[in-house]
Amino acid sequence: MRHISSRHWDQMENRAWRTALRGAALCIGMVALAAGVAMASSHREAPFITELPKVDGTDFYMFRSYEPGRQDYVTLIANYLPLQAPYGGPNYFQLDPEALYEIHIDNNGDAREDLTFQFRFKNSLQDLSVPVGPSGQTKNISVPLINIGPISSGNMQAQNIIETYTIDLVRGNRRTGNRQPVVNAGTGSTTFSKPLDNIGSKSIPNYDHYANSFIHTITIPGCGTPGKVFVGQRKESFVVNLGEIFDLVNLNPLGPPDGRRNIIDDANITSLVLEVPIACVTNGSEKVIGGWTTASLRQARLLRPAATFDRPALEGGAWTQVSRLAMPLVNEIVIGLKDKNRFNGSKPEDDAQFADYVTNPSFPFLIQALFPSAPAPTLFPRADLVAAFLTGINTPATGNLNQPANVVASEMMRLNTGIAPTPKAAQNNLGVIGGDLAGFPNGRRPGDDVVDIELRVAMGKLISAGLFGNQSQAPAGEAPLTDGALVNASFFGDTFPYLTTPIPGAPIQ
């Protein structure tokens, strides 16, 4: 194949790149259809998303705000770009300006989005330079770093890249519905600013104060009450004994809940945090909302031999979903390996294709094989897991915890906005199975220990509690299973944006 020079490439761009993109998009679409796969997401749990960390959705939280005085709001947190090493310079962890990041709300139970908040990012190079050379012969040379001096909210002259974003609210179908911009209530602008990652205290003194200046009050189309938004780096909020869990559960699952290390305690994450009035996301008398987060890329990409800062590639074609996340750990421990990529390219309305993974799950039998004293439940189909993951829970014993009146079975986070938030100091980290109805799986708060909860539910906690089937069908349902890595509400803030200050890249002296 003939080498294409930079000059010839530029000529081709001017007259033919759109044709090339259309052809590439068609080929990619045909391959995808033939293979029957799409893409994937969430803490590297599916094969394809390991290649695309900037659009890897890692955690999704949805809860009634428990900040005092904010109980009439819902907080939505979508985390992306996992396992960030705090010292990850010189480029750190900007989000992808060619991607579409979305938070979806279903407020009538039909497994289709009714509201979608779409985030788009832009990285603007300031091209800072310094004079280099002897007096009278100096040359201004572009610097290789993201900053060349201290940064504060009021002084960004030493900042080499400015990262901004826009938010659109789409009502109805996320691709064809009515799209309107979310506006900064203080400035009237549709462009929002994002803080730099926590490089270190010499670069950004008092990072807490600095980051808090990027909390914006927002005007949401069709909503009379303002909300809030913050987008920026936070300390990794997920807590798990990750290495030992995936080494064939190489731990004592009946040990103390705080006896093991949270192995990702030294990492950061990038968070998209929204606080929206309840009245703006619910539908009439229906108090239950469903939520999930996705990321999408253009269907085709052509790499440029002469890449520039803002145009390393040419991208075009339809938006193609490469990330999907709602309930935690679904793709990690529920969906079979062959379908992990397919799941994260799918929509909740099409989840019937994955039903066997919930009604006849393999994970409890793997636990039984590793720990014969912990037999798997014998209830089939697993009506308890269908309720927890696909419909919401509504039983004679519990009443309607979080099931919409007209529900289509589909995997998403469901929150009953009619249940009052539990104050931070009173929250039980086991959520509903710990007697705290404002916790997981009725939505999810940062302090809910979802690993311990899902281990216990998978092994039949809802069966042994008498909510489904016969209690004898869950011999290990009352076992206090744990990964040993503790999390609770005390790990987090009690005000927006709740997730805590990211770890600095340079240790504090």
Q: What is the mean pLDDT of each run of 10 residues along the chain (509 residues)?
A: 44 45 41 31 71 94 98 98 94 96 98 98 96 94 95 92 97 97 97 97 95 98 97 96 85 92 94 98 98 97 93 94 95 92 95 97 94 95 98 96 98 98 98 98 98 96 97 97 96 98 85
> How many whole angstroms separate alpha carbon 487 and alpha carbon 257?
9
> How many whole angstroms separate alpha carbon 462 and alpha carbon 44?
29
SS3 438: coil
Please report the pLDDT score of residue 509 as a whole number. 57
Task: Give the residue carrying structure tokens 């001096």.
Answer: 149
Report which secondary-structure segment, H or E, holds 106. strand 100-106
> How many whole angstroms separate alpha carbon 335 and alpha carbon 329?
9
The answer to whether 409 and 352 have CB atoms below 8 angstroms apart is: yes
Query: Could you tell me whether strands 178-181 and 161-171 are parallel, antiparallel, or unpaired per DSSP bridges?
Result: antiparallel
> How many whole angstroms separate alpha carbon 477 and alpha carbon 472?
9
Task: Give the residue carrying structure tokens 């636990």.
Answer: 367
DSSP symbols for 480-505: ----S----GGGS-SSTT-SPPPPPS
**And the tokens for 94?**
């900007």
The answer to whether 177 and 168 have CB atoms below 8 angstroms apart is: no
Please report the pLDDT score of residue 242 as a whole number. 81
> How many whole angstroms separate alpha carbon 157 and alpha carbon 367?
56
H helices of 182-274, in order, are 207-212, 242-245
Residue 484 Cα to chain centre, angstroms: 24
First to last CA, the chain: 55
Task: Give the residue carrying structure tokens 């799950």.
Answer: 361
The answer to whether 498 and 65 have CB atoms below 8 angstroms apart is: no
Q: Quick one: CA torsion of 45, 250, 86, 83, rounded to 10 degrees? A: 0
Nearest Cα residue to 194 out of 210, 180, 217, 170: 210
Please report the pLDDT score of residue 344 as a whole number. 87
DSSP symbols for 3-70: PPPHHHHHHHHHHHHHHHHHHHHHHHHHHHHHHT-----STT-STGGGG-GGG-EEEEEEEE--STT-
Task: Give the residue carrying structure tokens 């790499």.
Answer: 303
> How many whole angstroms separate alpha carbon 2 and alpha carbon 15?
19
Handedness of CA 328, 333, 335, 338 (dihedral sign): positive
Q: In angstroms, what CA-CA distances link 151 with 79, 155, 166?
A: 25, 6, 23
> How many whole angstroms separate alpha carbon 219 and alpha carbon 188?
9
SS3 337: helix
**And the tokens for 506?**
């340079």
**Residue count (the chain):** 509
Please report the pLDDT score of residue 34 as a whole number. 31
**CB burial readout 402-418, b (16+ within 10 A) else e:** bbbeebbbbbbbbbbbe
Nearest Cα residue to 235 out of 507, 501, 54: 501
Task: Give the residue carrying structure tokens 């039998």.
Answer: 365
Task: Give the residue carrying structure tokens 């079979």.
Answer: 336
* Full-model pTM: 0.92
The answer to whether 183 and 464 have CB atoms below 8 angstroms apart is: no
SS3 297: strand
